[in-house]
């Protein structure tokens, strides 16, 4: 009885391997069959697998193999079976008896048992393959995912060829816009179609994977990098939207790191390419950039800021400085702007070094509320000490406009410190998109209803325009420094433009303040143009709480001759 035989046990145990792949199993079958060939008078054992071609890299030809052949020859009539595996491959078996033997029914039943055993092991292995493939494939685009990408790189590393490759970490330029304006369904179609085009681009020993969202990472041979960059600089994608088909030109931005320029470790190389992309997005308008050490240092510094931020907040390392705004008629303080500084390990870090980083990470909102709390605390101290506080403006990042509870959150802080809302002003910059503009408009109106002033910061730069201001009921417009830098130059166009802007703003019933005024000449011209509130180094740099409190308490009069 075959089931009890030593040979059968050996055959079975050879194939009994946990989580084996089909490919590994095919390699084991010949040695397993060896154990039972003699006992069952097997002269020849053939197997042909017809691959369905569904798999990621399995569009191979049909695999045909002779698993066993007796050197003394075999009869030419075959016992055959054809069975399917779960991934729709088909395994065809053909067994021939040794020369001079005809199998009886019992022997045929035993042979069928062997075939069914092999088949069930194949089923298990192909399920493993399917499972592995799912784990290594991106569900939306069918491109390989991070898991497969890493495995692929490791395989190249084992073959000792990885150093000839470059990692390109790319992010689509206008994808957020597409998602917002055309909807996520169109966004998904774009990603699918884009991936399809990328798939056609890479060669046999290369790979492009989707790393989530609109991030794509390519591992290409060094000599193909430029061609790829050129290709992804503009990829035309056709998408159906409603009853029309539109073509979208998709371009990407990329951070590039050759494996040879990195530590040689693939995880580091991917990280460096990603850091280069991060750096590129913040500091450059170009579409791609190669990794270098200084990028790494800057990115590392930014990461330190991000990871240390919460501790710094808890340790109260952020200080609020106050820069006076001066009334030109009285030469006294008419208000001030709260500007944050970071006191870290004995030195003062200016906001230009950390505000953009925190803004990028969405952490700035916590800092703004921290500043608002300190400001309210300080206002309360001034009032308690009998000092009349001048209105303090607090910078709020436009990221706050996503917060549906913003007004309530601000009111909660003000109420906590029992601050009179008229002592506060919120400074915001304008936004590009119409949604953000609507949110800003609503915020301004809600603040006005609660007697809190709002101002538009950096006016004259970025997106600000007079036509937008017509519907925005802010109290104050802050003219940006860049606008007044050249007003003293004879015949300067800025001066003519500024004059008309000031007339329009005051005509619309808003107050105006110029910031970044450094010379008495600039102040004189501003005054001539009816801009009576000025903030700038001409009067004071941002001052510590103590210094500012002193000037506020003494009713400081600035001794600046601007006549």
CB of 454 to ligand C2E, least distance (A): 14
CB of 411 to Ca ion, least distance (A): 21
Residue 129 touches which of Ca ion, ligand C2E, none (CB < 5 to 8 A by kind)? none
CB of 522 to ligand C2E, least distance (A): 9
CB of 193 to ligand C2E, least distance (A): 39
Is the separation of the CB atoms in 84 and 121 below 8 Å? no
Residue 335 touches which of ligand C2E, Ca ion, none (CB < 5 to 8 A by kind)? none
Nearer to Ca ion, 51 or 396 (CB): 396
Is the separation of the CB atoms in 535 and 323 below 8 Å? yes
Q: Tell me the two tokens of residue 151.
A: 């495995």
Residue 352 touches which of ligand C2E, Ca ion, none (CB < 5 to 8 A by kind)? ligand C2E
**Residues at the contact surface with ligand C2E, assessed by CB under 6 A:** 323, 339-340, 350-352, 355, 364, 368, 371, 395, 397, 457-458, 515-518, 535-537, 542
CB of 479 to ligand C2E, least distance (A): 11
Nearer to ligand C2E, 364 or 505 (CB): 364
Contact residues for 464 (Cβ-Cβ < 8 A; gap 6+): 429, 430, 456, 458
Residue 350 touches which of ligand C2E, Ca ion, none (CB < 5 to 8 A by kind)? ligand C2E
Residue 355 touches which of ligand C2E, Ca ion, none (CB < 5 to 8 A by kind)? ligand C2E
**Bridging pattern class, strands 252-258 and 244-250:** unpaired
Residue 371 touches which of ligand C2E, Ca ion, none (CB < 5 to 8 A by kind)? ligand C2E
Residue 536 touches which of ligand C2E, Ca ion, none (CB < 5 to 8 A by kind)? ligand C2E
Closest of 509, 494, 493, 500 to residue 529, by C-alpha:
500
Nearer to ligand C2E, 211 or 342 (CB): 342
Contact residues for 136 (Cβ-Cβ < 8 A; gap 6+): 56, 144, 145, 147, 148, 151
DSSP labels, 359-427: HHTT-HHHHHHHHHHHHHHHHHHHHHTTPPPPEEEEE--GGGGG-TTHHHHHHHHHHHTT--GGGEEEE
CB of 241 to ligand C2E, least distance (A): 37
**Helix ranges (DSSP H) in 137-264:** 146-158, 175-182, 184-201, 225-232
Give 6: exposed, middle or buried? Use CB within 10 Å, 0-12, 13-18, 19+: exposed
Is the separation of the CB atoms in 508 and 475 below 8 Å? no
3-state SS class at 438: helix
Question: Taking each helix axis from N to C terminus, what angle separates 364-384 and 545-554, rounded to the nearest 10 degrees?
Answer: 40
CB of 250 to ligand C2E, least distance (A): 32
Nearer to Ca ion, 214 or 427 (CB): 427
Residue 336 touches which of Ca ion, ligand C2E, none (CB < 5 to 8 A by kind)? none
C-beta atoms surrounding 268 within 10 Å: 14
Nearer to ligand C2E, 308 or 370 (CB): 370
CB of 430 to ligand C2E, least distance (A): 13
CB of 339 to Ca ion, least distance (A): 7
Give 286: exposed, middle or buried? Use CB within 10 Å, 0-12, 13-18, 19+: exposed
CA-to-CA separations, 464 to 28, 441, 448, 460, 469, in angstroms, rounded: 71, 14, 20, 6, 8
Nearer to ligand C2E, 193 or 425 (CB): 425
Nearer to Ca ion, 129 or 337 (CB): 337
Is the separation of the CB atoms in 260 and 290 below 8 Å? no
Nearer to Ca ion, 240 or 466 (CB): 466
Is the separation of the CB atoms in 427 and 393 below 8 Å? yes
Nearer to Ca ion, 255 or 542 (CB): 542
Residue 357 touches which of ligand C2E, Ca ion, none (CB < 5 to 8 A by kind)? none
Residue 509 touches which of ligand C2E, Ca ion, none (CB < 5 to 8 A by kind)? none
CB of 170 to ligand C2E, least distance (A): 30
CA distance 561 to 238: 65
Residue 516 touches which of ligand C2E, Ca ion, none (CB < 5 to 8 A by kind)? ligand C2E
**Residues at the contact surface with Ca ion, assessed by CB under 5 A:** 395, 427, 457-458
Nearer to ligand C2E, 257 or 538 (CB): 538
CB of 403 to Ca ion, least distance (A): 19
DSSP label of 222 = G
Q: Tell me the two tokens of residue 167.
A: 């990692």
Nearer to ligand C2E, 144 or 460 (CB): 460
Contact residues for 328 (Cβ-Cβ < 8 A; gap 6+): 523, 526, 527, 531, 532, 533, 534, 562
């Amino acid at each position: 009885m075959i089931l009890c035989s030593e040979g059968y046990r050996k055959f079975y145990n050879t194939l009994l391997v946990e989580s084996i792949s089909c490919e590994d199993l095919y390699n084991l079958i010949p040695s397993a069959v060896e154990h039972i060939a003699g006992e069952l008078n097997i002269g020849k054992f053939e197997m042909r697998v017809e691959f369905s071609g569904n798999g990621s890299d399995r569009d191979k030809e049909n695999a045909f193999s002779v698993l066993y052949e007796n050197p003394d020859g075999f009869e030419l009539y075959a016992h055959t079976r054809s069975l399917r595996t779960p991934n729709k491959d088909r395994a065809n078996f053909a067994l021939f008896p040794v020369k001079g033997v005809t199998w009886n029914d019992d022997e045929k039943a035993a042979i069928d048992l062997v075939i069914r055993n092999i088949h069930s092991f194949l089923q298990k292995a192909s399920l493993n393959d399917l499972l592995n493939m799912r784990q290594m494939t991106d569900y939306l685009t069918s491109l390989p995912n991070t898991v497969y990408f890493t495995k692929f790189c490791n395989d190249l590393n084992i073959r000792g060829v990885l150093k000839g490759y470059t990692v390109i970490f790319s992010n689509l330029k206008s994808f957020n816009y597409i998602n917002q304006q055309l909807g996520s369904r169109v966004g998904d179609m774009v990603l699918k179609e884009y991936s399809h085009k990328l798939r056609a681009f890479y060669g046999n020993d290369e790979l492009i994977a989707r790393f989530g969202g609109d991030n794509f990472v390519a591992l290409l041979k060094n000599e193909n990098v430029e061609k790829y960059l050129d290709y992804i600089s503009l990829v035309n994608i056709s998408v159906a939207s409603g009853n029309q088909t539109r073509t979208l030109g998709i371009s990407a931005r990329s951070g590039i790191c050759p494996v040879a320029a990195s530590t040689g470790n693939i995880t580091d190389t991917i990280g460096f390419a990603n850091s280069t992309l991060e750096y590129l997005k913040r500091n450059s308008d170009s579409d791609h950039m190669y990794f270098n050490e200084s990028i790494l240092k800057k990115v590392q510094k930014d990461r330190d800021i991000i990871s240390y931020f919460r501790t710094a907040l808890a340790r109260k390392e952020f200080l609020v400085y106050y820069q006076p705004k001066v009334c030109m008629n009285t030469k006294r303080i008419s208000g001030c702007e709260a500007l944050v500084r970071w006191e870290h390990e004995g030195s003062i870090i200016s906001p230009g070094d950390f505000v953009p980083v925190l803004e990028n990470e969405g952490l700035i909102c916590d800092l703004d509320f921290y500043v608002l709390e300190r400001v309210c605390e300080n206002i309360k101290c001034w009032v308690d000490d009998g000092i009349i506080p001048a209105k303090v403006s607090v910078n709020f990042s436009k990221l706050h406009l996503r917060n549906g509870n913003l007004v309530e959150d601000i009111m909660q802080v003000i109420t906590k410190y029992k601050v009179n809302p008229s002592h506060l002003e919120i400074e915001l910059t304008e936004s590009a998109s119409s949604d953000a503009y609507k949110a800003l408009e609503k915020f301004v109106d809600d603040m006005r209803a609660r007697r809190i002033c709002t101002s538009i910061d950096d006016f004259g730069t970025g997106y600000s325009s007079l036509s937008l201001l017509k519907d925005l009921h802010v109290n104050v417009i802050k003219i940006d420094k860049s606008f007044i830098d050249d007003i003293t130059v004879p015949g300067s166009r800025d001066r003519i433009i500024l004059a008309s802007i000031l007339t329009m703003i005051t005509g619309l019933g808003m107050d105006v303040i110029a910031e970044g005024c450094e010379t008495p000449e600039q102040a004189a011209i501003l005054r001539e143009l009816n801009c009576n509130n000025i903030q700038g180094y001409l009067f004071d740099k941002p001052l510590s709480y103590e210094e500012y409190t002193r000037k506020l308490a003494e009713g400081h009069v600035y001794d600046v001759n601007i006549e």
